[in-house]
């Protein structure tokens, strides 16, 4: 009984002590969260103020914040400010902490509220931010080497350490340098379009820089590019840390001559039909008719380019597209897309063709583009892509088509390789 009475008498004293610790009338400063985590991006330190109406302050009050810990401010993390401002027109109750370069080991940031007259520290006068190890970004040019015409686009890709595509959290500006082994002279044999850098935009995994051909000189046609990331500890080399670009110049100016169809390097009509929804198993006899009408290799096919235009001598069903004579003009450079990547081509505009690719129907519109490029930079081997037609003789209603020219920009393509006749 005496123990019970003692407990009842002591209870008001205990409750009174707790009440004094949480006296709302005492101005108190405290971090909203005592523990945070950060590896990439940013976190926010928020200040909680109690026991005072901030709008009633006669003048702004500065609350200093000291940063310490094993992480190094300025190199491994940055802060938006080192103080809070209470009251006034520029009140600020939050500080942003951003991860920078921390690639070696996990570290800690400690933020401590400084003393302020007429305020007391609350229960979270200190906040700790664990700074995790930041993953390195792998970089690689998309190919080891390439041949460019009048212009060329060089692409760089970013990956995570596991090989997955890295998505940029913000724009990443990557300087580009001319590496050892280049023979072309900048601003003479080639120029960069814009600044000598490429940008991987926020939300993207790759960026590109464009080169333009200048004066062509024998032996001065090679540009080797590398990035300025070699000594950046946040990046590591991928498969191709350099790219060799051969400057070929205008394909259009090198077309003149007689070209014969090559037995190698041509598209497969059967594969083309299957990829466009036609099947020998289900579509007979339509499939047989498609295969008979699809252009196929013929050793006797000839194309003759002159200053006046194009003259043809054809026995394959390419004769259902080309006419014996056609004027030609330079349509500029263009990019096609295949399963293996981008295909830069020179567009040639023909003014006398049959866009229906038909032996019996002639299209009213007789202008169409073809795409050409020289295989592996060899001016005697030309790849030709048929990308601008509306077939009325094969795979009818199965081929992708749109009104804008060229009509087919994506794989699969009807394509042939032609070799220059030198005799």
Question: Alpha carbon of 264 to those of 255, 272, 296, 297: distances in Å?
Answer: 20, 16, 12, 9
Mean pLDDT of the chain: 89
pLDDT digits over 165-179, tens only? 999 988 999 999 999
Mean of pLDDT values over 325-349 = 89
Helix, strand, coil % in the chain, rounded to nearest 5? 10, 40, 50
Q: In what order do the strands lie in the sheet with 151-159?
A: 190-192, 206-213, 151-159, 137-141, 235-237
Q: What is the pLDDT of residues 73-92, one digit of tens each?
A: 999 999 999 999 999 999 99
Kindly state the tokens that stand for 147.
Answer: 């041949």
pLDDT greater than 60 at residue 9: no
pTM over 0.75: no
Q: In this model, does residue 346 exceed pLDDT 70?
A: yes
What local confidence, expressed as pLDDT, does residue 133 receive?
A: 86
Q: Is residue 377's pLDDT more than 70?
A: yes
The answer to whether 278 and 293 have CB atoms below 8 angstroms apart is no
What integer is the mean pLDDT of 278-292? 87
Least confident stretch, 8-12, 129-133, 200-204, 278-282: 8-12
Confidence (pLDDT) at 66: 97
Residue 96 DSSP SS3: strand
| Main-chain phi, psi angles of 395, to 5 degrees | 45, 45
- Given a cut of 70, is residue 378 above it in pLDDT? yes
| Number of separate helices (H) and strands (E) present in the chain | 3, 29
User: Do residues 298 and 261 touch, judged by C-beta distance below 8 A?
Assistant: yes
Predicted local confidence at residue 13, as pLDDT: 33
Q: How many angstroms separate the CA atoms of 136 and 87, rounded?
A: 42
Query: Does the pLDDT value for residue 344 go beyond 90?
Result: no
Per-residue confidence band for 295, with pLDDT thresholds at 50, 70 and 90: very high
Q: Cite the beta strand spans of 11-91 per DSSP E.
A: 28-31, 35-38, 42-50, 61-69, 77-79, 83-86
How long a stretch of residues is the chain?
423
pLDDT of residue 252: 86
The predicted structure's pLDDT at residue 23? 54
Sequence-ordered list of residues with C-beta below 8 angstroms from that of 246, at least 6 positions apart, any chain: 145, 146, 147, 148, 221, 222, 377
- pLDDT at position 109, please? 96
pLDDT value at position 24? 61
Q: Read off the pLDDT of each residue in 16-38 and give the average, rounded to a whole number.
A: 74
What does each C-alpha distance from 359 to 24, 317, 329, 414 come to in angstroms? 93, 8, 25, 18
Mean pLDDT over 40-56 rounds to 92
Burial 395-406 (b: 16+ CB within 10 A, else e): beebbeeeeebb
DSSP character string of 382-394: EEEEE-S---SSS
In the predicted model, what is the mean pLDDT of residues 60-67?
A: 96
Q: Cα–Cα distance between 62 and 39 in angstroms, integer?
A: 29
Q: How far apart are CA 355 and CA 366, in angstroms?
A: 6
Tokens standing for 207?
């960026």
State the burial class of residue 139 (Cβ atoms within 10 Å of its Cβ: 0-12, 13-18, 19+).
buried
pLDDT mean over 118-128: 95
Q: How far is the C-alpha of 71 from the C-alpha of 167, rounded, in Å?
A: 26
Residue 367 structure tokens = 């202008």
- Using the CB atoms, write b or e for 295-314: b if 16+ within 10 Å: bbebeebbbebeeeebbbeb
How confident is the model over 211-269, as pLDDT tens digits? 999 998 889 999 999 999 988 888 999 999 999 999 988 888 889 999 999 999 999 99
Give the residue-averaged pLDDT of 127-155.
91
What is the signed CA dihedral for 239, 240, 241, 247, rounded to 10 degrees? 180
| Nearest in space to 33 (alpha carbons), one of 118, 95, 103, 106 | 95
**DSSP secondary structure letter of residue 135:** P
CB 216 within 8 A of CB 247: yes
């Amino acid at each position: 009984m005496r123990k019970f009475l003692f407990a009842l008498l002591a209870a008001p004293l205990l409750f009174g002590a707790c009440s004094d610790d949480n006296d709302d009338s005492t101005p108190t400063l405290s971090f909203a969260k005592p523990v945070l985590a950060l590896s990439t991006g940013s976190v926010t330190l928020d200040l909680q103020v109690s026991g005072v109406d901030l709008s009633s302050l006669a003048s702004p009050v500065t609350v200093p914040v000291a940063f310490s810990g094993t992480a190094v401010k300025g190199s491994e993390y940055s802060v938006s400010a080192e103080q809070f401002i209470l009251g006034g027109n520029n009140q600020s109750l939050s500080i942003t902490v951003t991860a920078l370069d921390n690639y070696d080991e996990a570290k800690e940031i400690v933020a401590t509220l400084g003393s302020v007259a007429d305020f007391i520290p609350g229960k979270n006068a200190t906040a700790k931010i664990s700074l995790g190890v930041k993953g390195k970004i792998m970089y690689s040019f998309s190919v080891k080497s390439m041949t460019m015409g009048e212009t060329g686009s060089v692409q760089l890709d970013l990956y995570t350490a596991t090989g997955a595509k890295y998505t940029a959290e913000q724009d990443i500006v990557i300087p580009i340098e001319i590496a050892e082994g280049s023979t072309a002279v900048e601003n003479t044999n080639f120029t960069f379009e814009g600044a000598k850098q490429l940008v991987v935009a926020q939300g993207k995994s790759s960026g590109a820089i464009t080169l333009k051909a200048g004066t062509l000189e024998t032996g001065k046609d090679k540009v080797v590019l590398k990035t300025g990331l070699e000594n950046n500890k946040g990046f590591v080399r991928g498969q191709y840390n350099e790219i060799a670009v051969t400057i070929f110049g205008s394909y259009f100016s090198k077309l003149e001559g007689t070209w014969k169809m090559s037995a190698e390097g041509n598209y497969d009509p059967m594969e083309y039909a299957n990829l466009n929804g036609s099947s020998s198993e289900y579509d007979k006899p339509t499939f047989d008719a498609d295969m008979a009408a699809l252009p196929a290799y013929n050793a006797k096919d000839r194309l003759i380019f002159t200053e006046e235009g194009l003259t043809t001598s054809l026995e394959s069903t390419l004769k259902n597209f080309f006419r014996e004579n056609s004027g030609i003009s330079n349509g500029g450079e263009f990019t096609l897309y295949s399963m293996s990547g981008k295909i830069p081509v020179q567009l040639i505009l023909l003014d006398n063709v049959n866009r229906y690719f038909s032996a019996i129907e002639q299209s009213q519109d007789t202008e169409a583009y073809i795409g050409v490029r020289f295989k592996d930079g060899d001016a005697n081997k030309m790849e030709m892509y048929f990308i601008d037609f509306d077939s009325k003789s094969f795979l009818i209603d199965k081929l992708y088509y749109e009104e804008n020219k060229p009509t087919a920009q994506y794989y699969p393509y009807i394509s042939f390789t032609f070799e220059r006749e030198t005799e």
